[in-house]
């Protein structure tokens, strides 16, 4: 995992008011809850007293109460009450659970995973992708490290094989380019696969210049992706890391070309079914990959068409190293 990043970890509607929710994300047991106004909190899901899961307890306003001996924790992780010590007793300052910064955007919960304060203060997100689009999110647990799930969505070469009966129809096995653009912690690339008639693949500079108003794939580190199909039609995916061998994929097909209520639901339902079919085509192949996680230096023989995957691995390695270097600097 890359430290000091905003990770999309689940959908907002998974955390309901009045009930704490325990999940594992980024290899950590976490508890989420909301107060009466819907404000969201997140702590490490292990009581600092004797380790019970706080998610088995109750929430009360801004606080969560441990089910074992009733310690109260506020949203900053501070213990505010120890019932066995009596109501008037002060709680020691060092009685604190680890608290995580969280934000909500586009119906997703983002969690800051790192040692420092969140920077940027809000998670980076796709321009012009917002709640004016309609579509519902589907959830898919995969037995794979999230890096493999991300790379699958950056993979141009697999389309005519894995998706020969859906988005990869037409036997376009030859990979031209690819054309890609990097900015900040983002990768965008354009697909120009073609039928192999004996020609050599075209180089990136022989292909049309990058144009963000033409269909392309856009990935923002560490774990959100969109297929920009048109200004009014996108497929959004978040790859929520669970642990070293598991990922939850959240996928939403988003459109705003149909707004009429009845028709909108039919169109959204069909889009959703088609996207799920395509994702299922990927699952068995991706989950068969070994090793289960990818890294920059590994024994794989990559080809020019794998450029977005190579770029992802390089950027990921650089970001991991830079987070590590910063952690080494004394405060």
Distance CA 259, CA 228 (A): 19
Token pair for residue 186?
């983002």
- Total Cβ atoms within 10 A of residue 25: 22
Site string for ligand FES, 227-266 (x = CB under 6 A): ----------------------------------------
Which residues in the 256-295 window bind Fe ion by CB under 5 A?
282
Which residues in the 63-82 window bind ligand FES by CB under 6 A?
66, 68-71
Closer residue to ligand FES (CB): 70 or 304: 70
- Only one of the segments 45-53, 99-107, 140-148, 223-231 lies at the binding site for ligand FES (rule: CB under 6 A); that segment is 45-53
The secondary structure of 44-73 as a DSSP string is ESS-TTT---GGGSEEETTEEE-TTT--EE
Which residues in the 264-323 window bind ligand FES by CB under 6 A?
none
Closest contact distance (angstroms) between CB of 93 and ligand FES is: 18
First to last CA, the chain: 23
* 150 touches ligand FES by CB under 6 A: no
Token pair for residue 150?
């991300």
- Which H or E run contains 258? none
Residue 71's binding partner among Fe ion, ligand FES, none (Cβ under 5 to 8 angstroms by kind) is ligand FES
Token pair for residue 43?
């702590």
Closest contact distance (angstroms) between CB of 181 and Fe ion is: 21
Distance CA 76, CA 43 (A): 8
Residue 110's binding partner among Fe ion, ligand FES, none (Cβ under 5 to 8 angstroms by kind) is none
Residue owning tokens 């998610």 = 55
Closest contact distance (angstroms) between CB of 170 and Fe ion is: 15
Task: Judge contact between 250 and 238, C-beta under 8 A.
Answer: yes
Q: Which stretches of the chain bind ligand FES, using CB under 6 A?
A: 47, 49-50, 52, 66, 68-71
């Amino acid at each position: 995992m890359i430290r000091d990043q905003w990770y999309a970890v689940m959908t907002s509607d998974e955390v309901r008011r009045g009930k704490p929710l325990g999940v594992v994300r980024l290899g950590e047991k976490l508890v989420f809850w909301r107060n009466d106004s819907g404000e969201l909190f997140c702590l490490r899901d292990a009581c600092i007293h004797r380790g019970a899961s706080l998610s088995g307890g109750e929430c009360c306003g801004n606080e969560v109460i441990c089910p074992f001996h009733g310690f109260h924790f506020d949203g900053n992780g501070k213990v505010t009450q120890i019932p066995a010590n009596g109501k008037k007793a002060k709680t020691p300052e060092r009685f604190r659970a680890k608290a995580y910064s969280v934000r909500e955007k586009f119906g997703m919960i983002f969690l800051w995973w790192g040692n420092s304060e969140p920077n940027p203060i809000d998670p980076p997100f796709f321009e012009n992708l917002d709640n004016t689009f309609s579509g519902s999110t589907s959830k898919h647990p995969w037995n794979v490290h999230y890096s493999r799930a991300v790379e699958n969505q950056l993979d141009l070469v697999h389309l005519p094989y894995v998706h020969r009966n859906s988005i990869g129809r037409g036997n376009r096995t030859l990979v031209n380019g690819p054309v890609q653009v990097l900015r900040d912690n983002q990768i965008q690339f354009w697909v120009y696969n073609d039928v192999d008639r004996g020609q050599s693949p075209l180089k990136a500079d022989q292909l049309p210049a990058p144009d963000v108003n033409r269909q392309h794939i856009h990935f923002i580190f560490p774990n959100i992706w969109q297929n920009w199909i048109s200004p009014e039609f996108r497929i959004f995916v978040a790859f929520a890391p669970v642990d070293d061998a598991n990922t939850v994929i959240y996928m939403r097909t988003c459109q705003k070309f149909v707004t009429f209520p009845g028709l909108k639901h039919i169109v959204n339902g069909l889009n959703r079914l088609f996207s799920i079919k395509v994702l299922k085509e990927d699952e068995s192949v991706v989950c068969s990959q070994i090793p289960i996680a990818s890294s920059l230096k590994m024994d794989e023989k990559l080809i020019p068409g794998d450029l977005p995957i190579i770029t992802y691995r390089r950027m990921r390695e650089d970001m991991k190293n830079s987070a590590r270097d910063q952690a080494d600097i004394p405060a």
